[in-house]
Chains A and B, each alone.
Chain A
Amino acid sequence: MKARYGMVIDVDRCTGCGACMVACAAENNVPPAAQRATARTGITPMLVHKVSDGAEGEDRREAFLPVTCMQCEHETPCVTVCPQQAVQLDPATGIVMQMPQRCLGCRYCMTACPYHARYFNWWDPVWPQGMEKSLNPGVAVRMRGVVEKCNLCHARLHAAQEKAAAAGKRTIDQHDYAPACVEACPTGAITFGNLADENDSVSRAARSPEAFRLLARLGTEPKIYYKSKRPWVRALAEPHTAQSRKEVQHG
């Protein structure tokens, strides 16, 4: 059965704690930052942005937006541009699979992604001595010079598939597969599931009028939805709203 795994992130529930970011890094064997790494050269497959409505002072309202690979479905930008097919849209799961083992490190996919969801290994990964014992066995460690991104914790999907196969079943039990960020969120802001299943809570949430996708107008058909009751948060879906125009005018 073909699945389309996606998420709905409730922005109203996100407190910006960052637990999802750390859980993601731990699950995917992302190394701690190199000494010279900054917010522009770090590796954060899940990244929480602080956003605001543009007002100043007491009227300013802020929120937090976790951004990860959007798992674009239609003419996936990174898939179409990779010169050696190191990233593929898996038709069975809808996951955009990055294969760092095949990546040349040309970074063309990084220029193609409008969500800035791809990260380059500018350094070799270094863990303090002994810490490699704490690495997650299911996930390969990448070396420098390759691009990586969120794979919806594919190792966990793999484990769920193995478990189902061992039990003689053809489809996985949905409860066995949840990415690390979904599990980690203390407010349960991230819902994960199969968008192809109409009865799945994710599908229902994605169809709600409060749901929106970032840069939907580009036509990439992302599978990560956001949800908010606040209009100013929904307005962040598309760039250059009146708010940003106002900010731009003020230089």
Chain B
Amino acid sequence: MKLTRRDLFTWGGGAAAGLLLTPVPWKLLDDTSIWTQNWPWIPQPAHGPVEVKNSFCSLCPNGCGMRVRMAVGWPVGISGMPHHPVNQGALCPLGFGAHQLNWHPRRLRQVRYHGRASSWTEALVAFQKACAAGSVAIIDGYPGRAASSLFQSFCKQHGSYGVVLCTEERALGPYETWSGVPVTTLGYDLENTGTIVSFGAPLLDGWSAPGRFTRLWSERAAGMADPQLRLIQVEPAQSRTAACAWRWVRIAPGSEAALAAALARALREEHLAPEDTPMPPATLAESAARCCISIEAIRELARTMVARGPVLAISAESNSAVAALNVVLGAVGARGGIVCRRKRAESYAAADSLTGSFSAVLIDSSVPADFNPNIDAEVFRFAGWEGGPGRADWLLPAPGFLEELTDIPTAPASSIETYTIAVALAPPPPEMRSAAQFLAQVDPSAPLVEQVIHARCGQLFHARTGRLKREQSTAVSALDSPEMLKKELCHGAVWVDDPPRAGGIRCRLREWPQPSGAAPCAATWTTAWVPPVLPPLATKLYQESVLRETPPRSAI
């Protein structure tokens, strides 16, 4: 039988028609819809039950409370902890993406010596050599933790301890100078203030903990023509805080001190300030000219300032003139002003002020990445992420986000004492070691962080003061044992001290201070951020929208 072209057509056409009646083509078509949803290069989320655990952020000294959603042993989502009095359920934009930081491509996973790969053993040997050769300086960016006390006890024998304070605490520096009360125990009693005059402090955009001022402002001031809490923002350009403030006072750049001086003079002239407070040497006219504001406007501002008391001036950076203005306003040690939280507190040496010759400097991972010590010695820098501009001879991989157990002392410039324990929720990569763990290898007799925390819980329990806040509030005196206190803390409770009494700090100021202090830089988010990298999702703010300009110090 010869196969003709006609046969070919007939059989071919018949086969095609027949195939349509089978499931084959329809199944293949349907499969394309499955394939196009499940290409192998598209990552899939893990499948598993989700549980919510509490912990606290340690990426900046505010220690915001977080609710962390965990699935298959990894953090998969972050939200704020509503019962924490410091952040009150709010988090900074970076905090919401922080659970992805540990996989940032610039995560430091290996010990580096001058850029090339090294090991912990070599680093340990080098550090021990340095300890034997001379004294060691330890720089801590987050004083008050259990790890910090280990640094301090190490330094008692082997060297000096210095701290790098965040800007909010640095701004309180003049009060420490004038009263002797350490900045680490000073705070702003914002909850009772009537008028806040902010000299460039980004109160609504990266100042202190995210919820602290924002919630207060939202309840008492947002959008109101006559708010309960008046925010006067003094700034050369309209920042976010200035745009939201009750009033924005535009001054010439760098003239914050001059405005503070002018306001002090105006208050005296209007008889709104006590007679015995020091006055600036410059006249009102001179200061006004320096600020590029008219004298009448300054007088009017002075009157407005005190119209709704208590009044508090907050500076972005350490500014002695603004601090002196607070003295004139009577805000120091008063309700709604600058308060002292505890009777006894520690004063720390500033890292910049460490003098003497050292053979090594150990910089903890809590120190901001752009910090450089003034010390000429071998630098052992602990960091979770590489790429910071700070110099380092040894770059040592430290635990990242939620990777180590630590305790969180009171947030900077807070008006009440708090204490929390941040449990580790993410397993740390094998090569990680914290500075405290490193020092424990140098000096095996030193206690571990866990032990210090345990001891602190015991102290808190025996002091019988304060309350434990979770969904409900429990008095410490009602608890049965220190173990119970510790257990509650580890599950996310917050220990809150009784509110401080008024007073406790008195500034002795004979004359108006010489102008000093750094000029505040343009309000950026966030001034206290420590790592040299931003969470990957920060691209939403900086690259995928025009909401914020390129980040100043960090890179994505």
Contacts and interface: CB of A to CB of B under 8 A. Distances in A.
The reply to whether A and B meet directly (CB within 8 Å) is yes
A125 B205 contact: no
Interface string A1-38: 00000000011110111110111011101101100011
A50 interface: yes
Contacts of B537: 22, 25-26, 30, 32
B99 interface: yes
Contact of B91 (A25, A141, A186): A186
Contacts of A127: 43, 100, 103, 536
Interface in B15-65: 33, 36-37, 39, 41-48, 50
A58 interface: yes
A18 B540 contact: yes
B471 interface: no
Contacts of A132: 43-45
Contacts, number: 210
Contacts of B210: 17, 19, 186
B474 interface: no
B539 A187 contact: no
A236 to B, nearest CB: 15
A141 B89 CA distance: 28
A6 B36 CA distance: 32
A1 B97 CA distance: 35
A38 B544 CA distance: 5
A87 interface: no
Contact of A26 (B48, B74, B97, B244): B97
A171 interface: no
A141 B44 contact: yes
A244 to B, nearest CB: 18
Interface stretch (A41-49, A68-76, A194-202): A41-49
A185 B87 CA distance: 12
B482 interface: no
A85 interface: no
B222 A37 contact: no
Contact of A135 (B46, B204, B225, B545): B46
Given A32-B537, A47-B545, A12 B43 contact: no
A139 interface: yes
A186 B211 contact: yes
B83 interface: no
B78 A26 contact: yes
B525 interface: yes
A60 interface: yes
A60 B238 CA distance: 9
B96 A131 contact: no
A133 B240 CA distance: 35
Contact of A22 (B223, B535, B556): B535
Nearest to B38: A143
A15 B204 contact: yes
Nearest to A46: B540
Contacts of A61: 243
B42 to A, nearest CB: 5
Given A125-B42, A141-B43, A33 B544 contact: yes
A25 to B, nearest CB: 5
Contact of B47 (A19, A29, A30, A137): A137
A230 B246 CA distance: 13
A105 to B, nearest CB: 10
B414 interface: no
B217 interface: yes
Interface in B149-203: none
A239 interface: no
B77 interface: yes
Most chain B beta-carbon contacts within 10 A, residue among A127, A131, A143, A228: A131
Nearest to A45: B540
B268 interface: no
B391 interface: no
A221 interface: no
B303 interface: no
B222 A13 contact: yes
Interface in A93-127: 101-102, 124-125, 127
A32 B244 contact: no
B240 A33 contact: no
A188 interface: yes
Interface residues of A, number: 68
A10 B89 CA distance: 18
Contacts of B90: 19, 184-187
B547 A50 contact: yes
A245 to B, nearest CB: 23
Contacts of B342: none
Given A26-B78, A101-B37, A186-B211, A17 B205 contact: yes
Contacts of B539: 32-33, 37, 42
A18 B244 CA distance: 15
Contacts of A180: 79, 96
A22 B544 contact: no
Interface string A177-214: 00010011111110000000000000000000000000
A238 interface: no
B218 interface: yes
Contact of A10 (B50, B80, B211, B223): B223
Interface in B532-556: 535-541, 543-548, 556
B238 A62 contact: yes
A42 B225 contact: no
Given A124-B42, A134-B76, A137-B46, A37 B223 contact: no
B442 interface: no
A21 B215 contact: no
A28 to B, nearest CB: 10
B536 A128 contact: yes
B253 interface: no
Given A10-B222, A22-B535, A128-B104, A187 B214 contact: yes
5 contacts: A10-B222, A22-B541, A37-B544, A58-B250, A143-B39
Given A19-B90, A19-B93, A26-B97, 15 more contacts: A15-B240, A19-B95, A23-B79, A29-B45, A33-B543, A48-B545, A130-B102, A132-B44, A137-B46, A141-B44, A143-B36, A183-B79, A184-B96, A186-B90, A229-B223
* CB-based closest 5 A-B pairs: A42-B544, A12-B223, A186-B90, A32-B536, A132-B43
